[in-house]
Structure 1
Amino acid sequence: MSIVMPIVIGLICVSLMSLIPEPHRRQVNAVLVGGAGAAYLSGGGLGYWEFVLPVVMTYVAYRGLNSWTWIGIGWLLHTAWDVVHHLKGSPILPFAEHSSFGCAICDPVVALWCFAGGPSILDWARARLSREPAMPIGPAEE
């Protein structure tokens, strides 16, 4: 369950983000990835090193305003920071011991969606459901 739930949370996040129309979807995600860089600032446990990620993520978020690839890179950078915190620092949620581990599983799900260009999952699902089967269902004609 500690691996499945973060994946489900990532899929829910992607689905909710799909509700935002473009071009705002990319801009909102750039802002979110910038904010994610500061997630550990209030007690992350790595001292002054905690200031490195927000600086890097600010640059990445700025580039992400015009590029889904940069937003995906940002989520992967946050994943790496999650792993460091899981192993050496404090959890992202102080009351949930393995929250950084969960975040490290969730973030790549969002990153993959970003690398795909942040498409609307709802539009994709509608297109898939409306397609007719390639071959008729039933006995084959001879």
Structure 2
Amino acid sequence: MMIIAPILVGLVYVVLMSLIHEPYRRRFNAVMVAGAGAAYLSGGGLGVWEFAFTVVVTYVAYRGLESWTFIGIAWLLHTGWDVVHHLKGAPIIPFAAHSSFGCAICDPVIAIWCFTGGRSVTDFVRARVGSRRPRSSVV
């Protein structure tokens, strides 16, 4: 469950973000990953490195305002930071000891979606379901 639940959270994130239309979807995701980059600032336990990481992710997220690839890179950077916190720092959710581990599983799911261009999975499903409906013949 420690692996399945974070994957499901990542998939739910992708579905919910798919409801936002472009170009707002890309920009919103850039802001989201910038916020995620600052998640450990209030108590991550790695001192000045928390600020250095936040600066790097903020820059990459800024580049993500115009590029899904940069948003994916930022999510992977956050994945690495989650792993560091799971092994050496404090968890992202103070009362949930394995929360950084879960975040490290969830974030690559989001990154993969970003590397595919952040396409709307809801639009894809609607198109697939619509193409399977039998066409009625009008006489």
Cα displacement (A) at 1:131: 3.0
For residues 32 and 65 of structure 1, what CA distance do their matches in structure 2 show? 11
Larger Rg: 1
Alpha-carbon displacement from aligned partner over 1:62-115 (angstroms, at most 9, x marks no partner):
100000000000000000000000000000000100000000000000000000
Paired amino acid for 1:100: S
For residues 77 and 101 of structure 2, what CA distance do their matches in structure 1 show? 14
Residue 122 in 1 paired to residue 125 in 2? no
TM-score by length of 2: 0.93
For residues 63 and 43 of structure 2, what CA distance do their matches in structure 1 show? 28
For residues 84 and 92 of structure 2, what CA distance do their matches in structure 1 show? 11
For residues 53 and 121 of structure 2, what CA distance do their matches in structure 1 show? 30
Structure 1, unaligned stretches of length 5 or more?
134-142
1:36-115 correspondence runs (5 A)? 36-115=36-115
Quote the RMSD (CA, aligned, Å): 1.1
Structure 2, unaligned stretches of length 5 or more?
134-139
Paired amino acid for 1:37: G
Residue 4 in 1 paired to residue 4 in 2? yes
Paired amino acid for 1:81: W
**Number of residue equivalences:** 133
Alpha-carbon displacement from aligned partner over 1:40-74 (angstroms, at most 9, x marks no partner):
00110111111111100111011000000000000
Paired amino acid for 1:72: G
Runs of 4+ in 1 over 6 A off after TM superposition: none
Identity of counterpart residues, as a percentage? 71
